[in-house]
Amino acid sequence: MMQAELNSYWTKFRRTLEMIKFEHSIFALPFALLAALLAARGWPSGWQIGWIVAAMVGARSAAMTFNRIVDRDTDARNPRTRMRALPAGELSLGFALAFFVLAVAIYELAAWELNRLSLELSLPALAWLLFYSYTKRFTWLSHWVLGVALGLAPAAAWIAIRGSLAWPILWLSGAVAFWVAGFDILYASQDFDFDRSQPGLYSLPKRLGLSRALGWARACHGALLILLAVTAAQFHLGRLGWMGWAVVAGLLGWEHSLVRKNDFSRVNTAFFTVNGYIGLLLLVIWGAAIVK
C-alpha cells in the first residue's frame, strides 16, 4: 500500500513538472547567471550559484503553478489547453496548491540563505510574478508585465551576489523584459481566435490584430538588441560581447521567420527551442568574456 501511494505521488509530481514546463526554467536562468558573473567580476562561489539556481527554479515553479491554477477554467474552454493536467482532471487542485507552497518555500529559503536584501525583496518580487496571472483579465499590457517579471532575474542575481543593486545591471534586466514581452506576444498570437471569443480576456493580438501584434513583437526584440548592446559596452565585454550580440540577433531573425499571421504551426519551435538557444548561447559566450 505504501509503495502504491509513493508511486501515485511521484506520478502526480512528474505530471506537475510537465504542466508547468519545468524544463523551460532555462529561459531566464542564463540571464540570472550572467548577472551573477558580472556582479562577482568572475566566478561567484558555488554556494551563491546553488542558491541563485534554487531561487530561480522555486520562483518560476511557484509562478507557473499559480498561473495554471488561476487559468484552469479558461484552459478548460480553450481547445489548445483543455488537456492540461488541471482542466483534464489529471491533477487535483489540492495537489497543485501543495506544490505551489513547496515551490514558494524553496524560493524563500534560497533568498534567506543569500543575504538580507534578497530576503526583504523576495515577497514583493513574488507578488509581481503572481500578479501577472490576473493581468490577462483586464489589460492587453500583460505581455510587458510578464516581461518585467522575468526581467527581475538579472537584478535579483546581482543583489544575491553584492547585497545591493547597481544601475548598470538594469540594462540587462530591461533587455530580458523586452525579450520576454516579444516572444509572449508571438505565443499569444496562436490564441487569437479564442481570445476574441472571450470578453474577459485581453492580449495585444486581440486588441491590434495579428499583423500589428507581430510588428510589436519585432519592435520589442529590436529594443532587446539595443539594450544588449548597451550592456556589452557598459561592462566592456569586447569582441566576445559583440559575438554574443550577433548570435542573439541571428536567432531572433530565425524566430520571427517561423511565425506568420496565417501560419502558427511552428510557434512552439520559435517559442521554446529558439529562445532556449538564445539564453544558453549568450551565457556561454558572454560568460567566457567575463571570466577570461
Over the stretch 58-116, which tens digit does the pLDDT of each residue have? 999 999 999 999 999 999 999 988 988 898 888 889 989 999 999 999 999 999 999 99
Cα dihedral 270/272/277/280 (nearest 10): 150
pLDDT score of 11: 73
Burial grade of 181 (CB within 10 A; 0-12, 13-18, 19 or more): buried
Question: DSSP class of residue 203?
Answer: -
* pLDDT tens-place values along the chain, 292 residues long: 455 555 566 677 677 767 776 666 667 899 999 999 999 998 999 999 999 999 999 999 999 999 999 999 999 999 988 988 898 888 889 989 999 999 999 999 999 999 999 999 999 999 999 999 999 999 999 999 999 999 999 999 999 999 999 999 999 999 999 999 999 999 898 888 899 998 889 999 999 999 999 999 999 999 999 999 999 999 999 999 999 999 999 999 999 988 877 776 777 766 677 888 899 999 999 999 999 7
Dist. CA 277–CA 158, nearest whole Å: 23
**Domains of the chain: which residue ranges?**
2-131+139-291
Cell readout for 51 is 542558491
Q: Which fold has domain 2-131+139-291?
A: Tetracycline Repressor; domain 2 (1.10.357)
Q: How far, in Å, are 192, 195, 263, 283 from residue 80 at the CA level? A: 12, 12, 15, 33
pTM of this prediction exceeds 0.85: yes
pLDDT of residue 69: 94
Q: Locate 142 and state its grid cell.
A: 500583460
Q: For residues 262 and 10, is the Cβ–Cβ distance under 8 A?
A: no
